[in-house]
Structure formats: structure tokens, C-alpha cells
Amino acid sequence: MTDPAIPAATLVILRERRSGALELLMVERAATMAFAGGASVFPGGRVDPGDRALAAALDLPDPDDGAARVAAIRETVEEAGLAIGFAAMPDAATIAAMRAALAAGEAFAGVLARHGRRLEPERLVPFARWRPDHPGMRTFDTRFYLAALPEGAARAEADGGESVRLGWDTAAGWLAAAARGEVRLIYPTRRNLERLARFADVDQAFADAAAHPVRTVTPWTEVREGRPHLCIPDDLGYPVTAEPLADAARG
């Protein structure tokens, strides 16, 4: 029997530069991580019971979506030191204190209460949901959300544990870096970067998200032109919907 997928969430943080470039944040996972070790990904991770409890306390309409939103916010604080989806922007010292408490194992709800902070998870924009099915590999059911970097946000910093470094670049820039062998991208990340590379600003990205209702993407293998390809549906806004299986990094 196939093991159930692990619920997870990830946050695509967008910022508009004065030059007109739309950049997004990616973190490099530690090479020792069991899943996607050494890969560059969007901040995120698995949904834990505390995320579900906090989502329930916030009375969010969809418990699973709500827990994923909370997880995406929490993981972004932990991995990048950024407060996204907060009702009011904490200062850098408060973010550092919250991050340290989370690293020490304190529950997110308790950290927020102690610092007098309230979440507004509805600020996150649903973008995609991926649930790969690879026999013999750990499987995640990951919800992707978009968010604009708030004015006055703290400087993003890797945690030095799960995320060893991070950086900002355009989606096209990240894809070019992967082509040069400077970063490693797994299949879902590559497909989402290709989709994001079509947007010139945050409004375009949000509009595309609204135009394509989220439907779970489970890639499948299909022979095309005599070669096996890893494929995804062609009606979800992705400009590239197939890649030779031999070229597809999956985790």
C-alpha cells in the first residue's frame, strides 16, 4: 500500500525592484536533508499539528487550506526570517526572537501570543498544489501560495540549518542559474519557475493565480517521440508540461 502523502506548504515571496524586475526568494536546502537535499526551493515545509490547531483557533473556513497557510507563514519565519501574512509587521528584533523560540521547539501559537502578534493568512494567494507519486520515495502534498514582500520587511537570512543560503532573483534568472549548474531544481520547482517567469509584476502573478483554479498536479510518465517524459496537465497555466524523464530531478 502506498504511504499517504505528507501535507506541506510553500510560499513564493515576490518583490518588485525599482528596475522593474520581479524577483522571488529561494532557499538552498542543506545537503543532508532527506528530501531535496542541496536543492533550491521556495521557503516551506510540512504541516504540523500545531498549524492545524492554530488554523482552527483562527476559524479559517477550510481546515486543510488554513493549516497549510499557517505552516507556510511559520516555515518562512523559521527558514528566512521573514514575517509574511502578519496583521502588523514585527520589527527585526521581534522576528529574531520569534525565530529563536521556534528553533527551540516552542509552539507557533505561543510565540505569537507572547509577542502580541496576529496572523492574517488570507493575505496568501493560492497558486498551485502538487502531489507527486514516486514509488519508494517520500511523497508530499504541497500547497503553493504567493505573497508580496511587505513594505519595511526585514532582511531575509538563511537559518544555517535546513536552509544554508538564500537569495533573490527573477524566475528567469533562477532558471538560467540552474542551466549553468549553479543551483539544482527539482521538477515541481522548475515548472513553477517557468510559470512565474511570464509575469512582469505582482499583479500579473496574482491575476494568473485567480485565472487558474488550483487543482492537484500529480505528474505521470508518458512516452513521447520515443522517449519517456514526465508530464503534467496542459490547462493549469504552465508553459512547459513535459520533460524527458532522464532530465527530471524529483527530490
Any idea of the CA torsion for 62, 65, 66, 72, to the nearest 10 degrees? 180
Counting Cβ atoms within 10 Å, is residue 109 exposed (0-12), middle (13-18) or buried (19+)?
middle
Smallest Cα–Cα separation from 68: which of 87, 85, 55? Answer: 55
Q: Are 220 and 248 in contact (CB under 8 A)?
A: no
How many domains are contained in the chain?
1
3-state secondary structure of 67: helix
Rounded to the nearest angstrom, the gap between the alpha carbon of residue 234 and the centroid of all alpha carbons in its chain is: 22
Radius of gyration of the chain (CA): 18
Smallest Cα–Cα separation from 45: which of 114, 92, 109, 102? Answer: 102
pLDDT score at 19: 83
Q: What span, in angstroms and rounded, lies between the C-alpha atoms of 45 and 79?
A: 9
In a domain, residue 173? The reply is yes
pLDDT score at 250: 57
Residue with cell 536543492: 39
User: Residues 210-244: pLDDT tens digits?
Assistant: 999 999 999 999 999 899 999 999 999 999 999 99
pLDDT score at 34: 57
Smallest Cα–Cα separation from 75: which of 107, 113, 47? Answer: 47
In a domain, residue 230? The reply is yes
User: Residues 55-93: pLDDT tens digits?
Assistant: 999 999 999 999 999 999 999 999 999 999 999 999 999
Residue 170 region by backbone torsions, left for phi larger than 0, else alpha for psi between -120 and 50, else beta: beta
Given a cut of 60, whether residue 178 has pLDDT beyond it is yes
What CATH code is carried by the domain that includes residue 79?
3.90.79.10
In a domain, residue 1? The reply is no
| pLDDT average, residue stretch 161-174 | 91
For residue 70, what are the domain limits? 6-247
Q: Which helix (H) or strand (E) holds 221?
A: strand 220-224
132-141, 161-170, 177-186, 187-196: range with lowest mean pLDDT: 132-141
Q: Which helix (H) or strand (E) holds 238?
A: none
- What is the pTM for the complete model shown? 0.94
The count of residues in the chain is 251
User: Residues 23-37: pLDDT tens digits?
Assistant: 999 999 876 665 666
Given a cut of 90, whether residue 12 has pLDDT beyond it is yes
Confidence band of 171 (pLDDT split at 50, 70, 90): very high
